[in-house]
Structure 1
């Protein structure tokens, strides 16, 4: 298969995004765990909790620095590889990114420095406030990024201006409070909390297996298990909310996740397992649970969920409507001034402008969508179906891991409450080996979210193929190879620094007031 500029640009962004998201969830989760641990220290005054905060803070710092390095490149890609996208929606997409930099990243970066260098310069409460500011900055960064991404999934609060040929903000509050963005934010940060919890559980379990730093490891596992259990339950609940929103705003994604080719009577069943065949347009050996999909996606037992073939029919209708809008847009642009535009042309664009993006799907087959044949229209309609097997299996592995996280954190929490954490070496080894699993689940979640949106870079508005820069495939391939090489080096650097810090273990540490006690007795003597 020969990859063109569009495929290579997509692959490059996917590589950089997936690499970057290896760092993000650990930053999100560890920042909150640090705040919890330091809160216990401030409340109890016990030095072990200060030692725990500093140790896990060191690992947080390593991850944070490399996460920033990988994240910067992603924003530059919008100008490098996706210049038409940046032009088309820059008014909307640029605002959350700018706010993220000004409000969240600078807040987080500033207080990270105070966190590391302020232990003996700030009061207990002052340093605790600093730690909470780090956690707040980390999560605010995720919020604004996901507001931008959520708008791409559900473009609300914006309208197309035929004079400027751009999407422009019409209601910023609708962009800000986009239900898809809010659900994605809470779901994503909860996944980060699970990732950090399993990281702390695994490293602490390794210490228990080696008989090192027992007090720190047991307390860390207790905090991580309780926090991870709450986060795991949250991920599943909010995943259900995402399913409902897909049923509202991204019906094709939902049908593809379920490999549901034909519309079923309400309520639709959930396919536990099967073998989807996109060529034959059928799912073989499907095992289904009645009613479950209908309840998740519609919250009712009577609302029908359309299948892929029905949705393709809807897409074909919208493409034809989009062609009318495209023709009206050409006449509007040719007229120049608003006064010269015929009322019938204005009305035609107002009635069909919402489907303009569907006409742009035909650009893959013909330069002028108005000249498309019936076969090309049908082919473009089928292009709205994403890769069904990829979505089907990615979703099911992700969900299976989610239920494992709930069961495992519940078990560790129970054993922790019974003070029996170190009695099962098998459990401890499972905790060590499970460290990568939340990362796998998180990456699969992004695969479901982004592959499921194809062929749209903005759902229903702008096809991915129309958003790329005018670059040669060779140029994109070269930068893709360069980014992959650099990011691989950064991953190796992080793993080396992390493993070195873990092997070294926590530094002996006492709170300032504890260190003053021996000096006071010496003076008395």
Structure 2
């Protein structure tokens, strides 16, 4: 395959990362708020208390704003696979497109339909019927995440497909293996519950603002209690399931785990430290600063006390035989494409599983021709390719730690808020309430850094072990890529501005049924006429 200009590849990666990170601002909130809305409405149906209906309708309004803008930011991403990643789409389109098509035809349409009934069916449906609709919205939102993460899981661990040398594409073999890929299932549960944390923090933070400004106190107290308990349980689940996902990565993607841990050399000692902080240097393949906790790394990663953990330097060297086999596979595949002889096909099938390493070596071959590599040049080509088999360690290491540190912070925050809320002492802890307000973006940031960990840690592969990222891009010119990148950045920034404006506007207004009964403290006016910002009442 002819190689794409590296600048085009970098711009394509940057554009997709930009659109994905923008879109993922909205996804966790959608996933989490649907579950909490269902819980609130369930309480309303069981108890008949009006405050729980108010909670469902008010938080549902903010959910609707987030959902609408999330849809707008997500639509373009699927088109990017065809426009900017045409080789990827050709290579794995039969497999990768299946879960995305199911997501659109089943989950997205289901979600969009029932959201309409949820918003406009309060006076047209019975309480149980409307509750069922809300649960269906929650189910559809999480089903949507399931199918998207099944597609992503295939990129991480390509289950359910095999390469067809006659079509030069991955052939879809098993729907069951694709859907029940361990990586896809673990990633789905981890990501969805991370969304629950985001929804809980969002509701808890806005409710804390109401308590700080002495508004909608009963509404806020019930909302914050439910969100804090739900958030604590969800955060504990995220940490536990994250450990399970890390164990899978240790088995399937050892380079990712080694990069996450900043581990350059293989360790066999049970006293090996887990690095709290470090400054990995990809050029020198060492850490210039290390702060660690001994006796933690081995049981954390391997769930044993004596199993060795391979380091990045040894993993580089271990890739050498795969690269040699991959070069043989690509050369045999090219010969088979010309002659269709049985001998070339047999040679290809012998080395087929290492084919991706042959693609990876192509950029280091003379004139990008693997057949042109002489015996004298082969060691240099292999060595250069070995160095490209590991991800950016600094980015992967710190993206993971930011996500993890935020997760443990959330556990503490939710625990304290839940404790004082259950004891009806929360209003006397204003510093804690302020922390809740300022922590609203935290779970979304943690999700963003989790995505960076997963995707940066998979490099240099777009499909792990089969298709390098630089082979997956489309052939565009730099001007087109720069123009589209700037256009997307501006458009998505407008979407975020619209989201923030609407969210702030309706959060300041508060639940409408309380507006006339609860004037803003110190003003005698309805909250709808309060000054913008947090000026309704001093927090001191």
TM-score range, shorter chain: over 0.9
**TM-score, length-normalised on structure 2?**
0.91
Partner of 1:363: 362
Partner of 1:162: 165
Secondary structure in structure 2 of the residue aligned to 1:164:
coil
Structure 1 residue ranges, 4+ long, deviating more than 4 angstroms after superposition: none
Report the Cα offset of residue 291 of structure 1.
3.6
Q: Is 1:94 the counterpart of 2:93 in the alignment?
A: no
Partner of 1:200: 203
Partner of 1:516: none
Cα distance in 2 for partners of 1:377, 1:470 equals: 26
Q: Is 1:183 the counterpart of 2:182 in the alignment?
A: no
Report the Cα offset of residue 287 of structure 1.
2.5
Size of the aligned set, in residue pairs, is 504
Could you tell me whether the CA contact under 8 Å between 1:245 and 1:297 is conserved in 2? no
**TM-score, length-normalised on structure 1?**
0.94
Q: Is 1:469 the counterpart of 2:468 in the alignment?
A: no
Residue deviations 1:35-88 (CA, integer Å, cap 9, x gap): 000000000001110000000000000000000000000000000000110010
Q: 1:327 aligns with which of 325, 331, 338?
A: 331
Residue deviations 1:284-337 (CA, integer Å, cap 9, x gap): 23223234222232222222111001110121221111011111111211123x
Cα distance in 2 for partners of 1:397, 1:71 equals: 25
Matches within 5 A, 1:398-417: 398-417=403-422
Cα distance in 1 for partners of 2:161, 2:299 equals: 31
Cα distance in 2 for partners of 1:378, 1:7 equals: 23
Could you tell me whether the CA contact under 8 Å between 1:104 and 1:137 is conserved in 2? yes
Cα distance in 1 for partners of 2:52, 2:356 equals: 56
Cα distance in 1 for partners of 2:293, 2:214 equals: 46
Partner of 2:519: none
Report the Cα offset of residue 3 of structure 1.
6.9
Partner of 1:309: 313
Q: 1:260 aligns with which of 248, 263, 267?
A: 263
Cα distance in 2 for partners of 1:293, 1:318 equals: 28
What is the root-mean-square deviation in Å for CA atoms of aligned residues? 1.4
Secondary structure in structure 1 of the residue aligned to 2:277:
strand
Partner of 1:522: none
Q: 1:22 aligns with which of 20, 25, 34?
A: 25
Partner of 1:390: 395
Could you tell me whether the CA contact under 8 Å between 1:265 and 1:304 is conserved in 2? yes
Cα distance in 2 for partners of 1:266, 1:180 equals: 28
Partner of 1:347: 346
Report the Cα offset of residue 347 of structure 1.
3.1
Deviates more, 1:214-223 or 1:302-311: 302-311
Q: 1:65 aligns with which of 68, 71, 89?
A: 68
Cα distance in 2 for partners of 1:371, 1:280 equals: 31
Could you tell me whether the CA contact under 8 Å between 1:360 and 1:369 is conserved in 2? no
Partner of 1:150: 153
Q: Is 1:448 the counterpart of 2:449 in the alignment?
A: no
Could you tell me whether the CA contact under 8 Å between 2:266 and 2:310 is conserved in 1? yes
Residue deviations 1:70-124 (CA, integer Å, cap 9, x gap): 0000000000000110010011000000110111001100000000000000000
Report the Cα offset of residue 503 of structure 1.
1.0
Could you tell me whether the CA contact under 8 Å between 2:6 and 2:470 is conserved in 1? no
Partner of 1:126: 129
Matches within 5 A, 1:273-284: 273-284=277-288
